Amino acid sequence: MDTTPQLSSKVPSPPPPAGVPLQRETTAGNYFVSNYPPFAYWKPEFVPEFESALSRAPREGNPLGVYVHIPFCRKRCHFCYFKVYTDKDSQEIRGYLESLLREMELYAARPFVGGRRPRFVYFGGGTPSYLSEPQLEFLFEGMQRLLPWDGVEEVTFECEPGTLTDHKLETLRKLGVTRLSLGIEHFDDHVLEVNGRAHRSREIVRAYAHARQVGFPQVNIDLIAGMVEETEEKWRATVARTLELAPDSVTIYQMEVPYNTGIYRQMKVEGKLVAPVADWDTKRRWVDYAFTELERAGYTVGSAYTAVRNKAATRFAYRDYLWAGADLLSVGVASFGHIHGTHYQNLSDFGPYVEAVNAGRFPVNRALTPREDERYIREFILQLKLGSVSAGYFAAKFGEDPRVTFAAPLATLRGWGFLHEVGDCIGITRAGLLQVDRLLHEFFKPEHRGSRYA
């Protein structure tokens, strides 16, 4: 029997709790749920828990991944809230890369990490492709001396099209990158400009064509639905251009306006309560349109954000392992990691980060060790983003059937018409998947609801 959730083309919004008005406008704040408990509960006083976790041997069979944060960009996008820098010269960049390797060296000497082989490696930013070819070679070769990549399943590298040259793409492939993720976001030059993107459509075409010639096993395209001055016509044209390129996978996010972004500052200065982007109903409808067109072209929707052209050959190891509780050794300024059940985040400013590492200290700023019930919530809600989960898998791993543990929130989603259950499968309908991040708050513990997420 096919237990795949039935994906409806209709995208209704769930009714609000009694007495709470339903918000459809895009207002300031984070929407995307990437971890649990929320980051607001990670505290400096819990850093000793991180240090304790490092001193213990890893759980047998639990995979290890590595995340490397490259915080440099040609230009800061108006919607960006990540820790990035546009003013660093080559000497400062070299010094930062040396600090990354020193931080990895500190980890490699600890029982938790020493001798383990990463299952996946992810270079994020910022703009990892901002680095020059010599800088890339220095970083990759230094990392592999400390943590050999024998048996690595996936090496993902985020790119901004305008920073890619033919030689740089060839260097990345030679260094072992298996999934090239192109931050295209949109194909319309005006939309790119008003949202602060550094690249333009001509650079997209050139970079994509050579990436294909170089032969990366997986080329992914990132898009954002509902950017400033987006229109129905422009979005449909962007989807059409994506289909023409036929990437191996497409990742589509819905525009949000986090605090401390250029758009948020504009809202404050102009006294606007609503951001100059599409409302949530419109963004969900646009993503639904994109998914439908991709499915017609033979793609398979694999999560709330992704579609893949060849389901059997294309995967997202970073996502799948992380959402299943893998250890994540995360290095670099402001980066987030997860080791031996403890979450941690590094210092968020360039100078203090470099100073701490160069002094031989772990540059961790805050941490939190979730309790067992919170770990269950984390893995369950993250995997719900895939569209369906196995009740048996979670019962075996956590000792209780999720249909019992999460009976109340599941009943709420069922009442809203977003739950699809067949046998062992707990699935989310297409309408629910398109707004899954707001639905996941139903699974939060009462003390974590309503807190600032990031």
Mean pLDDT for 214-229 is: 94
> What are the Cα distances from residue 292, in Å, to 182, 188, 194, 249, 429?
22, 21, 28, 14, 14
pLDDT in tens, 223-241: 999 988 899 999 999 999 9
Predicted confidence band of residue 192 (pLDDT cuts 50, 70, 90): very high
Task: Determine the pLDDT at residue 248.
Answer: 98
pLDDT in tens, 298-336: 999 999 999 999 999 998 999 999 999 999 999 999 999
Tokens (6 digits) for 121: 């490696």
Predicted confidence band of residue 189 (pLDDT cuts 50, 70, 90): very high
Task: Determine the pLDDT at residue 3.
Answer: 34
Predicted confidence band of residue 390 (pLDDT cuts 50, 70, 90): very high
CB-based contacts of 334, cutoff 8 Å, min separation 6: 69, 71, 82, 83, 345, 346, 347, 348, 353
Q: pLDDT at residue 130 above 90?
A: yes
- For 408, other C-beta atoms within 10 Å of its C-beta total 9
At 226, the amino acid letter reads G
Predicted confidence band of residue 106 (pLDDT cuts 50, 70, 90): very high
Predicted confidence band of residue 197 (pLDDT cuts 50, 70, 90): confident
CB 147 within 8 A of CB 108: yes
Q: pLDDT at residue 8 above 50?
A: no
Domains of the chain: residue spans and CATH: 39-321 (3.80.30.20), 371-454 (1.10.10.920)
Task: Determine the pLDDT at residue 91.
Answer: 96
* DSSP conformational letter for 118: -
Mean pLDDT for 69-96 is: 84
Give 263 or 107, the one with higher predicted confidence: 107
- Strand 64-70 and strand 327-331: the pairing is parallel
**What residues does 367 pair with on adjacent strands?**
43, 344
The phi and psi torsions of 242 (rounded to 5 degrees) equal -60, -45
At 192, the amino acid letter reads L
- For 318, other C-beta atoms within 10 Å of its C-beta total 24
Percent of the chain with pLDDT over 70: 87
